[in-house]
């Protein structure tokens, strides 16, 4: 098993490349969760995620012959950028195999650091299998994202940063995908202060490692589906599972709706862009998954911020609809001059701001001479929306 000395050695190796990211109190999240919450903002890391720590430590541990061959890695994005940047620092070739569904943001991020990108496989595990084969055929050194002692030691330096700032924590909440981050951090935490609880949070759409943790043995799943692509790992690593069974106190999961709400919360309240994988710890607090931590002092790791802007726009739009700040209604009007004007005047009187309107007179469900009007508007919450609906029903625009 990894020891604390190797994590301290990793911290020394990576100190000139890796940012000691902010660790700060989150007053509003503390208020709504009932905990004293501190956020470790690895989304502000040089590559936008903690993965640079393990990747750089691994390359720094390779001999000259291994480096000369070049390196290959499989990743959904964050490990890829970490390996790519590390390879550029050492002046060696890097080939990164990424799943075909990888967001363009992450692909471009890897290319920015000079690595070659190959898209292969429907998920991380399929990309991993391709990368292993590709590395063997081309004599490249494989850099595993989590099943490697040097990588795990590098990730464990996140815990050293946290404990240097705050020694009297009751718990640390850590995102879990393959298990490299929590393995390294838990090793450091339990070595320095065994009384601190280590809590892992995964995505319910990628349950393999959680199931394995609960059973005490490795079990795999046939598929994964989650917006948290950074932790969408199908198969369980026996290496990281062994670390977790020894050092992790609790493992919970959150679903995509809870993750999406955490992403939106962090954007709106904390002014932070955090990807799905990095938001799971906050999701657990927001949705009362850790009630036993009320009154406790806890740290939450925001593991990455490489968010797909297309997905982010969807999350924002759905979040506005759910919170009553946007509303969509469809009404049927008589298709004659003045009908639409009267309808929009009602909305104006109710202080609803129309942002989009569409007019359909050809639907086969309509009587001749009628038209469907669909209006998207900005509103001021659920009570405002109820007021709008009541008025439209009273005036005969809505039937129910």
Q: Catalytic residues, which ones? A: 51, 303
Which stretches of the chain are DSSP H helices? 4-14, 27-33, 51-61, 64-69, 78-90, 104-112, 124-137, 149-165, 180-192, 208-215, 238-247, 256-269, 276-286, 309-322, 339-349, 382-394
Instruction: Calculate Rg over the CA atoms of the chain.
Output: 25
Q: Copy the structure tokens of residue 13.
A: 């190796």
Q: Is the dihedral of CA 238, 242, 248, 250 positive or negative?
A: positive
Q: Distance (Å, rounded) from C-alpha 331 to C-alpha 333?
A: 6
Q: What is the residue-wise DSSP string for 260-320?
A: HHHHHHHHHHS-----HHHHHHHHHHHTTS-GGGTT-EEEEEE-B----HHHHHHHHHHHH
Q: Distance (Å, rounded) from C-alpha 392 to C-alpha 379?
A: 15
Q: Are 276 and 263 in contact (CB under 8 A)?
A: yes
């Amino acid at each position: 098993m990894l020891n604390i000395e190797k994590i301290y050695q990793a911290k020394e190796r990576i100190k000139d490349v890796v940012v000691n990211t902010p660790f700060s109190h989150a007053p509003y999240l503390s208020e709504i969760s009932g905990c004293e919450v501190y956020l470790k903002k690895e989304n502000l890391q040089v590559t936008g995620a903690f993965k640079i720590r393990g990747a750089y430590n691994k390359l720094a541990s390779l001999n000259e012959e291994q480096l000369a061959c070049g390196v290959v890695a499989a990743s959904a994005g964050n490990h890829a950028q970490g390996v790519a940047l590390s390879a550029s620092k050492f002046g060696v070739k890097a080939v990164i195999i990424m799943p075909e569904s990888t967001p363009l943001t992450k692909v471009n991020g890897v290319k920015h650091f000079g690595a070659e990108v190959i898209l292969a496989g429907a998920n991380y595990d399929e990309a991993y299998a391709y990368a292993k084969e590709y590395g063997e055929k081309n004599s490249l050194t494989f850099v595993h994202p989590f099943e490697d002692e040097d990588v795990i030691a590098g990730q464990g330096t996140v815990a050293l940063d946290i404990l240097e700032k705050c020694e009297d924590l009751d718990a640390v909440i850590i995102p879990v995908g393959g298990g490299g981050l929590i393995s390294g951090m838990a090793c450091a935490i339990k070595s320095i202060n065994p009384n601190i609880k280590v809590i892992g949070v995964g995505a319910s759409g990628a349950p393999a490692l959680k199931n394995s943790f609960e059973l005490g043995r490795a079990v795999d799943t046939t598929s994964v589906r989650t917006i948290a692509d950074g932790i969408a790992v199908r198969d369980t690593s026996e290496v990281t599972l062994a670390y977790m069974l020894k050092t992790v106190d609790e493992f919970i999961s959150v679903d995509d709706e809870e993750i999406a709400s955490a992403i939106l919360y962090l954007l709106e309240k904390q002014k932070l862009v955090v990807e799905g994988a990095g938001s799971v710890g906050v999701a657990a607090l927001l949705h009362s998954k850790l009630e036993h931590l009320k009154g406790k002092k806890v740290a939450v790791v925001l593991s990455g911020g490489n968010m797909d802007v297309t997905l982010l726009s969807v999350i924002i739009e759905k979040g506005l609809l759910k919170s009553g700040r946007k509303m969509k209604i469809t009404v049927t009007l008589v298709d004659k001059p003045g009908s639409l004007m009267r309808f929009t005047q009602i909305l104006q009187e109710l202080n609803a701001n129309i942002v989009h309107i569409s007019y359909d007179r050809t639907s086969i469900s309509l009587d001749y001479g009628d038209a469907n009007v669909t209006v998207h508007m900005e509103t001021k919450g659920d009570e405002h929306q109820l007021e709008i609906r009541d008025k439209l029903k009273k005036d005969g625009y809505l039937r129910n």
